[in-house]
Chain A
């Protein structure tokens, strides 16, 4: 399958006033395939939102991209530049779906005027024509056209998020970077936004979604593949069901285990939370970044950074861990040993 979006060796840091650099994203490479939803999951501070900001081409001081390239539909962009893509490509090649629609919309602009501004920035159009197109798109996706007349504060939270999804995809962008688009919503509104994204993909209005969230169960409903991030690095990457059912990286396993999932075979592999907390970005541990919290860490884990390598034989499942083999053996032993077996 052809890669729609290919990000290579992305490194980015926040520069503090005292000159210290916090490496929030460290050597991340990610491919997004045609027609795919790639979920990026991790706890707070793992770098997933920083990744979204950079891919949305919104990096601004104090965030600096140290290295990284991006390829979108044959176009090559250097992410360290201040404007990796010309303005005319923004919103068309790559668009963003932000977390809080309330803050992402100018409070004194009606929905229809935002729609007009978005369309007008990329093509010659009239106010009437733009409103007509926005209205048609709303209807197509099952939303009432009267929301066009509304100001952001006049819409409910769930409706606002759906309306902004329509605005974000008004230009039929190739790729949509969705940064926690459902995090502030109730369950039924989350569902509505997720269904809408699927609908947009099915109608080929958009060709791929990078879906950033801390909500792993939600990803089961939408993501084809999942990347688990920890301390600025990709810890594990693979098809959603494989990552959730047979996580290979101890952190991914702990993350999956910390969520209530009804299936017994997952419950069996459950750990009791994750001891410790994510590392301070200013004082990153040597070697594997998870080693201070990892029950399986050995000398090599403490010294050498594990690369992201293929695990198993699926050809699509990767993990960055020196101890995957041992972990699997231990897990197998535990499963035989007792019904509520734990790792470590």
Chain B
């Protein structure tokens, strides 16, 4: 087997190990939360009144068996893993009998719609801004750098609350929450799309500005470093055209930025949980938040598993592409693995 293939296999093994470890944590950590989801369900039913204590006890026992909570934790874990490989994330305890798959399926599109454009657009705009600041210098640099620093230093949920208060409460230009108005329901009509867009703008902006700021700062410092490199002076003295030189500089400065992009796409699923909560956006963050409040183990596990898989996959992708992009790392892999 060639060295790169061996390197890949080696990496794959470690990623698999990390995955199993993460799954174990996923399974056991929610169960350490005091309380029991069945208690919550039964006490809710009891509030309705009518049922006797004995009947309640029978309902309780039925749920315990139904959710498999009577088995030992290890048995539960093994059956959980088995279900996982069949693609079955189980049934929600809090929204019984809705399946976790359908809960996540309904929330995921909203999270993707919010996060994917922010990350991609923010990454592109941030890199252009950072490169421009480094290349132009002077006041362009000072302005771009200070602005980026300010936006990337604010916690993203802080900016979310700030925007929410300013443009939805103090100046009621935008709705305060939700993905669409109470009166409308999702459909592909212009009316709904316009309504969804109005709800979309504030959470989108609150994330976009932070991403741009962070990317611009990273790109700027990398580009300044590359601009000062000896090869730039050498290429200038050989009369190379400026766009040609600049392209080389930015390709080198991009290398760490590409890692950043892959990682933030990986963190996408869990990246804006609080933004979704602030704007009551019906994405994964809101689902996870509700699940934690209700001790809804299967949903918590489902969401965190999705996040884990995405982060691991992104890291693996970074390991792969980095070797392809940078010849120096390719050589090191070839020799070392």
User: Measuring CB to CB, which residues of chain A are less than 8 angstroms from any residue of chain B?
Assistant: 56-58, 60, 87-92, 94-96, 98, 100, 103-109, 117-118, 121-122, 151, 153-154, 167-168, 171
Other 19 A-B pairs with CB < 8 A, given A103-B229, A106-B231, A118-B238: A89-B239, A90-B237, A91-B237, A91-B239, A91-B240, A92-B239, A95-B237, A96-B238, A106-B248, A108-B248, A108-B252, A108-B328, A109-B248, A117-B235, A121-B239, A151-B327, A151-B328, A153-B328, A171-B239
Q: With A95-B238, A96-B237, A122-B239 as known contacts, state yes or no: A103 contacts B328, CB within 8 Å.
A: no
Q: Which residues of A contact B248 (CB under 8 A)?
A: 106, 108-109
CB of A253 to closest CB in B, whole Å = 35
Q: Which residues of B contact A87 (CB under 8 A)?
A: 239, 241
Q: Which residues of A contact B234 (CB under 8 A)?
A: 96, 98, 104-105
CB of B99 to closest CB in A, whole Å = 49
Q: B326 on the interface (CB 8 Å rule)?
A: yes
Q: Which residues of A contact B331 (CB under 8 A)?
A: 151, 153-154
From the candidates A60, A103, A122, name the one contacting B230 in the complex (CB within 8 A). Answer: A103
User: Measuring CB to CB, which residues of chain B are less than 8 angstroms from any residue of chain A?
Assistant: 229-231, 233-241, 244, 248, 251-252, 326-328, 331
Q: CB distance A58 to B237 under 8 Å? A: yes
Query: B233: nearest residue on chain A (CB-CB)?
Result: A58
Q: CB distance B252 to A121 under 8 Å? A: no
CB of B15 to closest CB in A, whole Å = 27
Q: Which residues of A contact B252 (CB under 8 A)?
A: 106-108
Q: Which residues of B contact A105 (CB under 8 A)?
A: 231, 234
Q: Which residues of B contact A108 (CB under 8 A)?
A: 248, 251-252, 326-328
CB of A330 to closest CB in B, whole Å = 45
CA distance A122 to B244 in the complex (A): 13
Q: CB distance A90 to B231 under 8 Å? A: no
CB of B220 to closest CB in A, whole Å = 19
CA distance A106 to B249 in the complex (A): 8
Q: Which residues of A contact B230 (CB under 8 A)?
A: 98, 100, 103-104
Q: Which residues of B contact A94 (CB under 8 A)?
A: 237
Q: CB distance A121 to B244 under 8 Å? A: yes
CA distance A167 to B230 in the complex (A): 15
What are some 25 contacts across the A-B interface (CB < 8 A)?
A: A58-B236, A60-B233, A90-B238, A90-B239, A95-B237, A98-B233, A98-B234, A103-B230, A103-B231, A105-B234, A106-B229, A106-B231, A106-B252, A107-B252, A108-B328, A117-B240, A121-B240, A122-B239, A151-B327, A151-B331, A154-B327, A154-B331, A167-B238, A168-B238, A171-B239
CA distance A98 to B229 in the complex (A): 13
CA distance A91 to B230 in the complex (A): 16
CA distance A90 to B236 in the complex (A): 8
CB of B125 to closest CB in A, whole Å = 24
CB of A325 to closest CB in B, whole Å = 43
CA distance A151 to B239 in the complex (A): 21
CB of B201 to closest CB in A, whole Å = 39
Query: B248: nearest residue on chain A (CB-CB)?
Result: A106
Q: CB distance B237 to A57 under 8 Å? A: yes
CB of A98 to closest CB in B, whole Å = 5
Q: Which residues of B contact A109 (CB under 8 A)?
A: 248
Query: A86: nearest residue on chain B (CB-CB)?
Result: B239
CA distance A114 to B296 in the complex (A): 60
Query: A60: nearest residue on chain B (CB-CB)?
Result: B233
CB of B233 to closest CB in A, whole Å = 5
CA distance A103 to B229 in the complex (A): 7
Query: B242: nearest residue on chain A (CB-CB)?
Result: A87
Q: Which residues of B contact A98 (CB under 8 A)?
A: 230, 233-234
CA distance A151 to B326 in the complex (A): 11
CA distance A336 to B328 in the complex (A): 63
Q: Which residues of A contact B236 (CB under 8 A)?
A: 58, 90
Q: Which residues of B contact A118 (CB under 8 A)?
A: 238-240
Q: Which residues of A contact B235 (CB under 8 A)?
A: 106, 117
Q: CB distance B327 to A153 under 8 Å? A: yes
Query: B255: nearest residue on chain A (CB-CB)?
Result: A108
CA distance A109 to B247 in the complex (A): 11
CA distance A21 to B217 in the complex (A): 32
CB of B166 to closest CB in A, whole Å = 41
Query: A55: nearest residue on chain B (CB-CB)?
Result: B237
